[in-house]
Amino acid sequence: MNFPLYIAKRYLKSASKNNAINIINGIAALGVIVGSMALFVVLSVFSGLKEFSLSFTNEFDPDLKITSTFGKTLQITPAQEIGIKKIKGLASSSKIIEERVLFLFDGKEQVTYIKGVDSLFERVNPVHKIMYQGQWLEKHSNQVVVGYGICQKLSMGLFDFNHPFEVFVPKAGRGAIENPDEAFNRCKLAPVGIYAINEDLDSKYVFADLTLAQALLEFKPNQISGIECKLKPGASEQAVVSELQKLFPKNTAIKTRAQLNESLYRMLNTENIAVYLIFTLVIIVALFNLVGALIMMILDKKHNLKTLYNLGAEVKHLRSIFMFQGSLLSIVGGCIGLVLGIAVVLLQQQFQWVMITPNLAYPVVFSVQNVLLVLATISGLGLLASWIASSRVTKKLLEQF
């Protein structure tokens, strides 16, 4: 058996004759347990908040989006449409048009985006999850689905036949405008549904049929703003992107959902790292107790160390005793703290004890990645603290006893 490890286990299990040292060891162990528990719970909370924040964009943004890098529109050829359907990792794709236009209702104006979508849009985005009222639009019609925020600003409801909902799109051309009525393409729309996601997105889009948007913007049948794609479960995102890049080699950008919301992902990841570093600092402060406890243990066992040294034990072996003791204390305390932290997270998921609002529980997510991160942090810092304390065992110190 490993001699230093055997002695370290004996020291870890047995209590000291000095009650003060026992209290110090208890405080050090408690600090490791509470620190690891707190770190895991906080990481789980921020994982829950991240998942909750991204749930809005996940229900609205596609897995992949193809847009033009040269101008606002791109031309899609029949060969490219066929090529997209043949890509194995793609479940479906939808052609879209996005353009900022003017909407008018009962004397009130709102400048926002019209988003023309084809009949396959429902297969790419789960529109049924975002519908607040009414129904989704029918193809080849003047029906539209309006954001909840736009409805509030315009004081508009569904199926209001007394006040027409109109859209105005400037006509393309040059020269001075002689007749204002001829300067715009206009159309009366029929709101049949209201969607609700969050405050920003609810005021951004008015969904319309693709052919209606093309007519208003005077686009050609093959002229669109982009293509939104949905991946099959388990499909390789990178492999699908590579296939799409072969179909659209020039003047196009293929972005993933994370790239479409780059600033949001960056903010959430930065917050997560900041919280991890802050609580790691708290654990470092707590592990100072471990350093102190090990140094007190060295002084308490000075006569035993002197005896072992006289019997032929090397100084490095005596140092290893306290290295092992501190590491074992950190790992055992970290595991106990993790068990308690996991219990808190699972109980919150099951019983929803802590609430943000009366109807919304504080989101938490149990993640194996967080478990491994906490274990690695506690083990690494515990090893460092043990090394600092065990370095106090020197030949000069032993000769003083």
Residue 111: burial class (beta carbons within 10 Å; 0-12, 13-18, 19+): exposed
Q: Given a cut of 90, is residue 207 above it in pLDDT?
A: yes
pLDDT digits (tens, 9 = 90+) for 154-183: 989 888 778 899 999 988 766 555 566 667
Per DSSP, the residues of 313-327 read --HHHHHHHHHHHHH
Q: What is the pLDDT of residue 39?
A: 92
Using alpha carbons, select from 64, 16, 80 the residue that is nearest to residue 250: 80
Q: What is the pTM of this model?
A: 0.75
Q: Given a cut of 80, is residue 19 above it in pLDDT?
A: no
Residue 114: burial class (beta carbons within 10 Å; 0-12, 13-18, 19+): buried
Task: Tell me 201's DSSP state.
Answer: G
Which range is least confidently modeled, 27-41, 295-309, 329-343?
A: 295-309
66: confidence class by pLDDT, cuts 50, 70, 90: very high
pLDDT digits (tens, 9 = 90+) for 232-273: 998 888 999 999 998 887 888 999 888 888 888 888 888 889
Q: What is the pLDDT of residue 11?
A: 72
